[in-house]
Amino acid sequence: MTRLRDRFPTGGGLNDEDWAGRHRLLTLLLAVFMVFLTLVGLWQGGESVDALLITDAIVLPCLVAARLLHGRRPRSVAVSFGAAVSCAGFVALCDGLTEAHFTFFIAVAALALYRDWVPFGGFLVATVLHHAGFGTVQYDHVFGHSQAELHPLLWAVLHGAAVLAAAAFQLVAWRFNEIEEKRAQENLDESQAQLSVAFDETPVAMVMFAPDGRILRTNSAYREWLRLPDELPAGFSVHDLPLRAVEEGLPRVTRLLTETREPVTVTRQYHRTDDDSLIWVQNHATGLYGPDGELRLIFVHCLDVTEVRDHEAELKYQVRHDSLTGLLSRQAFEHDLAELLDGSADPVSVIYLDVDRFKSINDGSGHSTGDDVLRALAGRLSTVVPEGALVARLGGDEFIVALRGSAGAGLRVGNGILAALVEPLLATVPVSVSVGVTTACGPVPAEDVVLAADTAMYAAKRAGGNRIQVYSDELRVPVQQKIAAESRLRVALAGDMRDTLPVWFQPVVDTATGKIAGAEALVRMRTPGGEILSPFHFVGAAEETGLIVPLGEHVLRTAVEHLLQWSDRLGYVSVNVSPRQLAEPDFVPMVASVLAGLPGFDPSRLVLEITETALLSSAVDVGERLNALKELGVRIALDDFGTGYSSLTWLKSLPADIVKLDRSFVAGLAEDARKASIIEGVLWLARSLGMSTIAEGVEEKADWEALRAAGCPAVQGYFFSRPLPAPEFETLLLNSLERSTFEGVHLDETMGTAVAG
């Protein structure tokens, strides 16, 4: 019985809206059928009117009951009973016509729409009773043929069975629909369960709301994020959330979805009213649209990207600002200056500052003190420059300011900066700056404006510092010359240096023999046009750019190579060493490498000349470097001796082998007794310290004779020879060897004349 029962439909399953729609349809059909019966009965007249009145008298109350009764079942039973009476009445009006019985089959199918056993079964019962009862008593009004008179029960069974068969197929269809609906509901329940898990348990904040802003559903992550209760009050909307957009007037997500009909992603900053904080939220919104294209639901998941935005802002700040001072960085300044120049019709003044003798602050007080000075200077600048001005640290101890205004405004601000630094930045560290000012107007390249201010600043620094200089075109000439010199030097170093940077030699003459004892190696530059340039045109640029290091190594290696070629004719060669070379940690290893590649070579034949300038400006321990060189076996010469304020101190403390008297002591020696006394004193001091002496810059015969008379061991100068290319110097060297020992002035004059010529 249970299995049999399970094969039948259970009935019900319609929601109120669907049932009400079907009931209205069946009630309307019953009313239409009653009107149709009334018209047929009136048209037939006679006895049909009596049947019509009976039928209408029963069906009309059924229609009223179907409209006014409460509950589904009483109203559906009224329609079912009215349908059975209507069908019976129509058969009676048709005198039992077989085709009139079709109405019962139509009614069975129609009443199955209720999906309720009571009205459906009641109609079947009423149909069977009508056919069995009235078919037996009034067979002529039910079946309408003679066979029914003979076998009324048989025809009642046949008609009833036909109706039941039609009802059975309706039940099968009904059951199949229930099975399919059950399966669809199970699938829907599973999908909803999956959605609930995905929606409610995800750690991402999610919300569903209606187009009018009413919140329909939230997940736990959303409620926890916004500190909302688990159960929201009825009518709770987005306007009740503790979030307020910082930028008013932005289009709402609803409007964006309506306009695009595509998923929308917007990132906005909100003010949280519950804790008064500012947050950034990335909203991903998707709209759900109905068949009519109307927006019905908005699904949004929210990502709090405050940390990401703060990190991006911090990175942007770091890119645009100097980490030490907090001022603008070089890149940010140049960008903002370009915008200022492009977007302003007014002149723009640029002020370039450089701290005077900042290296001395770092070396004397330490780098931490230097950093304190830079931070204090940045703070002082921020108080002096007008509001809205660009203030940046370009790097090192260089600062720059840009502001709208004429050259006069820039000059006033520059003077204000100098005045502000009269009061020390730090109690124990006096600080002054060199200031350059320039003015530009219109879309001028920012780098050109900065370069002009930089040029003016360097002019102020060369003038002694702690002053201001306004840019003029004349100031650019030395800068252009320096750039051109650097460019020529780089080209020369990249080419065949034997040709582009030839090494020339100037002889050093032994005063006792009159022969060439050694030579000083001096570099020259050959331009692509064949012009020979002296070191004056490129050594300064080499020092500033660091190119002096590869240049000095080239000169050293070339000089040693020529010394080896002239090994039996030349005693030694001397090479100048710049302050930048001496400060390089790889300098001593480089010299050691050159000597290591010359097996059997006497290192004392190589003399390295160090100027007093190198000794004073070098940041390294000069004595330690020179001792390391001495350990290699080379000799050290103290060049330009006497030009520094501490010459005697260096002479006593450094491991020098040779003292080279500066040309300022030699020129006019024969006529100046004071110079003669100084030279005699230096010669005596050098001999007492075991050093040799060379007098530089000998250009007059009288000076040569005075030096020889004073006992100076060696001399060099134009009186004997200018610096010569290697082939010409080799010829001069051969001529010197072919002469006998020089005695007397005439032979020396001959030598000097021949060499000079």
**Is residue 85 domain-resident?**
yes
pLDDT tens track for 366-413: 888 889 999 999 999 999 999 889 999 998 899 999 998 887 889 999
Asked whether the predicted pLDDT for residue 446 surpasses 80, the reply is: yes
Q: What pLDDT is recorded for position 142?
A: 57
Same structural domain, 228 and 150? no
CA gap 638, 693 in Å, rounded: 10
Give the model's confidence band at 131: pLDDT under 50 very low, under 70 low, under 90 confident, else very high.
low
Asked whether the predicted pLDDT for residue 115 surpasses 90, the reply is: no
Among 423, 449, 471, residue at a domain's last position: 471
Same structural domain, 540 and 685? yes
Q: What pLDDT is recorded for position 742?
A: 38
Query: Phi/psi of residue 618, each to 5°?
Result: -75, 140
Q: What pLDDT is recorded for position 377?
A: 92
Cα separations in angstroms, 321 against 310, 391, 689? 16, 10, 57
**Is residue 420 domain-resident?**
yes
- To the nearest 10°, report the CA torsion of 91, 92, 98, 104: 20
Quick one: which of 586, 606, 595 has its CA closest to 546? 586
Q: What pLDDT is recorded for position 353?
A: 94
Same structural domain, 302 and 330? no
Same structural domain, 447 and 374? yes
Q: What pLDDT is recorded for position 7?
A: 55
* Span 67-93, average pLDDT: 86
CA gap 391, 382 in Å, rounded: 7
User: Is the pLDDT higher at 585 or at 524?
Assistant: 524
Exposed, middle or buried: residue 395 (CB in 10 Å: 0-12, 13-18, 19+)? exposed
Q: What pLDDT is recorded for position 753?
A: 37
Q: What pLDDT is recorded for position 583?
A: 83
User: Is the pLDDT higher at 586 or at 129?
Assistant: 586
Query: Phi/psi of residue 299, each to 5°?
Result: -105, 125
Give the model's confidence band at 751: pLDDT under 50 very low, under 70 low, under 90 confident, else very high.
very low
Match 């252009």 to its residue by tokens. Answer: 480
In what side-by-side order are the strands of the sheet with 433-440? Answer: 390-395, 398-404, 348-355, 433-440, 468-470
**H helix intervals, 440-547:** 446-462, 473-494, 497-500, 539-545
Same structural domain, 529 and 427? no
Most confident of 47-56, 140-149, 453-462, 640-649: 453-462
Model's pTM, two decimal places?
0.52
Q: What pLDDT is recorded for position 743?
A: 39
**Is residue 464 domain-resident?**
yes
Among 471, 486, 516, residue at a domain's last position: 471
Q: What pLDDT is recorded for position 109?
A: 80
**Cβ neighbours of residue 757 closer than 8 Å, sequence gap 6 or more:** none
Percentage, residues of the chain above pLDDT 70: 86
Residue pair 95/143 in contact (Cβ under 8 Å)? The answer is no
* Span 613-629, average pLDDT: 71
pLDDT tens track for 281-317: 998 988 888 888 888 888 898 999 989 888 888 888 8
User: Is the pLDDT higher at 623 or at 666?
Assistant: 666
User: Is the pLDDT higher at 548 or at 186?
Assistant: 548
Domains held by the chain: number: 4
User: Residue 424 is part of a domain; what is its CATH number?
Assistant: 3.30.70.270
Name the amino acid, one letter, at 46. Answer: G
**Is residue 369 domain-resident?**
yes
At 640, which helix (H) or strand (E)?
A: strand 635-641
Name the amino acid, one letter, at 664. Answer: S
Residue pair 700/670 in contact (Cβ under 8 Å)? The answer is yes
Residue pair 299/208 in contact (Cβ under 8 Å)? The answer is yes
Same structural domain, 429 and 519? no
Among 170-184, 186-200, 315-329, 717-731, where is mean pLDDT lowest? 170-184
User: Residue 277 is part of a domain; what is its CATH number?
Assistant: 3.30.450.20
* Span 224-245, average pLDDT: 88
CA gap 511, 515 in Å, rounded: 8
Q: What is the β-pairing status of strands 658-661 and 692-695?
A: parallel
User: Is the pLDDT higher at 413 or at 674?
Assistant: 413
Q: What pLDDT is recorded for position 716?
A: 95
**Cβ neighbours of residue 711 closer than 8 Å, sequence gap 6 or more:** 683
Q: What pLDDT is recorded for position 145?
A: 53
**Is residue 191 domain-resident?**
no
Same structural domain, 340 and 422? yes
How much is the CA Rg of the chain, to the nearest whole Å?
57
Q: What pLDDT is recorded for position 613?
A: 61
Exposure letters 290-305 (e unless 16+ CB within 10 A, then b): eeeeeeeebbbbbeee
Residue-by-residue DSSP string for 528-555: TTS-EE-GGGTHHHHHHHTTHHHHHHHH
**Is residue 398 domain-resident?**
yes
**Is residue 476 domain-resident?**
no
pLDDT tens track for 4-13: 455 555 666 6
Same structural domain, 355 and 409? yes
Same structural domain, 339 and 270? no
Q: What pLDDT is recorded for position 592?
A: 94
Same structural domain, 83 and 118? yes
pLDDT mean across residues, the chain: 83
Quick one: which of 508, 516, 553, 505 has its CA closest to 729? 505
**Is residue 440 domain-resident?**
yes
User: Residue 709 is part of a domain; what is its CATH number?
Assistant: 3.20.20.450
pLDDT tens track for 516-573: 999 999 999 999 989 999 998 899 888 888 899 999 999 999 999 999 999 888 999 9
pLDDT tens track for 332-371: 999 999 988 887 778 999 999 999 888 878 877 788 888 9
Q: What pLDDT is recorded for position 754?
A: 35
Give the model's confidence band at 654: pLDDT under 50 very low, under 70 low, under 90 confident, else very high.
confident
Same structural domain, 538 and 656? yes
Same structural domain, 222 and 277? yes
Containing domain of residue 345, as a range? 326-471
Percentage, residues of the chain above pLDDT 90: 28
Q: What is the β-pairing status of strands 516-523 and 572-577?
A: parallel
CA gap 436, 451 in Å, rounded: 10
Our separate counts of H helices and E strands in the chain read 32, 21
Among 290-294, 606-610, 634-638, where is mean pLDDT lowest? 290-294
pLDDT tens track for 487-515: 899 999 999 999 999 999 999 999 988 89
